[in-house]
């Protein structure tokens, strides 16, 4: 099928197309994986399908507890309809357990529980490799207002509390994750809503019993078994039936 939709933006793992109505976009999940600012790249069959489903599930649950999000509905295996927003140029990282760049920067062993949840901000810039910034930088350079930072932090804490419990219930520790927010205009009002995706690409998810990595670290660290791990997350969340096949390599048996 020829894709006639206008492409608005192409990122590392997703493409955004013009939506069917004004103010909407189509978010398409690719199978591409990148890490270390694109220095490591690969295609992993079935990753996009899984992230589309997992992100749909999480955004829907968050919507149900009153967290405003850009998600409208899933359209097909790889695409969801979303509200168009002006993205705040920040990656907001929430951490519960030391891992990744925090462990490296501060010399804290991976897996050490943090005394409390920590929120960090990174300025979104591929050229600069997403440098960490403080609220001072954010307000001085006008990336977000003090009120918007307050809203972003309050939403991030709610999301962390809710998702920590959600994953805990299925035997998974939510170690850390990355959020992006956008501005939505409604008449003369502008408000901050959750955008982008929440998936094993943007979270660290460890099995509570075994500490098995069920996230993109399997790719970053050449551990293999990424699709199987993402499938495990989806299955535990009740999104996939036991025999669902999402690799696109054959028919999916639909159970009633």
Per DSSP, 114 falls in state E
Give the C-alpha distances (Å, rounded to integers) separating 40 from 33, 200, 219: 8, 17, 9
Give the Cα separation of 168 and 165 in Å (integer): 5
Per DSSP, 6 falls in state P
Stretch that binds ligand UDP, among 94-102, 107-115, 154-162, 241-249 (CB under 6 A): 94-102
Q: Please check whether residue 63 is in contact with residue 125, taking contact to mean a CB–CB distance below 8 angstroms.
A: no
Q: How many residues touch ligand UDP (CB under 6 A)?
A: 14
The site string for ligand UDP over 158-177 (x = CB under 6 A, - otherwise) reads ------------------xx
- Can you say how many angstroms the Cα of residue 29 is from the centroid of all Cα atoms in its chain? 11
The site string for ligand UDP over 123-142 (x = CB under 6 A, - otherwise) reads -------x------------
Q: Which residues from 182-221 bind ligand UDP, rule CB under 6 A?
A: 202-204, 216
Between 102 and 233, name the residue whose CB sits nearer to ligand UDP.
102
Which one of 101, 117, 153, 244 is in contact with ligand UDP (CB under 6 A)? 101
Tokens of 42: 């690969």
The SS3 assignment for 73 reads strand
> Nearest to ligand UDP by Cβ — which residue?
100
Stretch that binds ligand UDP, among 48-56, 91-99, 107-115, 248-256 (CB under 6 A): 91-99
CA angle 190, 176, 238 (to 5 degrees): 90
* Contact residues for ligand UDP, defined by CB under 6 A: 91, 93, 99-102, 130, 176-178, 202-204, 216
């Amino acid at each position: 099928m020829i894709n006639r939709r206008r492409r608005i933006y192409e990122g590392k793992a997703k493409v955004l197309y013009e939506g069917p109505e004004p103010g909407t976009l189509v978010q398409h999940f690719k199978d591409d994986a990148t890490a270390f600012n694109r220095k490591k790249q690969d295609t992993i069959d079935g990753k996009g399908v899984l992230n589309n489903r997992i992100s749909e599930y999480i955004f829907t649950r968050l919507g149900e507890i009153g967290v405003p999000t850009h998600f409208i509905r899933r359209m097909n295996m790889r695409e969801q309809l979303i509200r168009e927003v002006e993205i705040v140029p920040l990656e907001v990282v929430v951490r519960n357990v030391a891992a990744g760049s925090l462990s490296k920067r501060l010399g804290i062993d991976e897996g050490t529980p943090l005394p409390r949840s920590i929120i960090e901000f990174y300025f979104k810039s591929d050229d600069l490799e997403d440098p960490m910034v403080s609220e001072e930088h954010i307000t001085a350079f006008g990336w977000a207002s003090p009120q918007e930072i307050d809203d972003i932090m309050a939403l991030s804490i709610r999301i962390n509390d809710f998702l920590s419990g959600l994953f805990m219930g299925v035997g998974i520790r939510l170690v850390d994750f990355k959020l992006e927010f956008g501005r939505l205009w409604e008449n003369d009002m502008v408000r901050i809503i959750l955008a982008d995706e929440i998936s094993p690409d943007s979270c660290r998810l460890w099995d509570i019993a075994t500490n098995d990595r069920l996230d993109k670290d399997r790719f970053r660290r050449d551990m293999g078994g990424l699709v199987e791990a993402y499938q495990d997350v989806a299955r535990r969340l009740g999104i996939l039936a036991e025999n669902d096949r999402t690799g696109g390599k054959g028919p999916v048996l639909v159970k009633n």
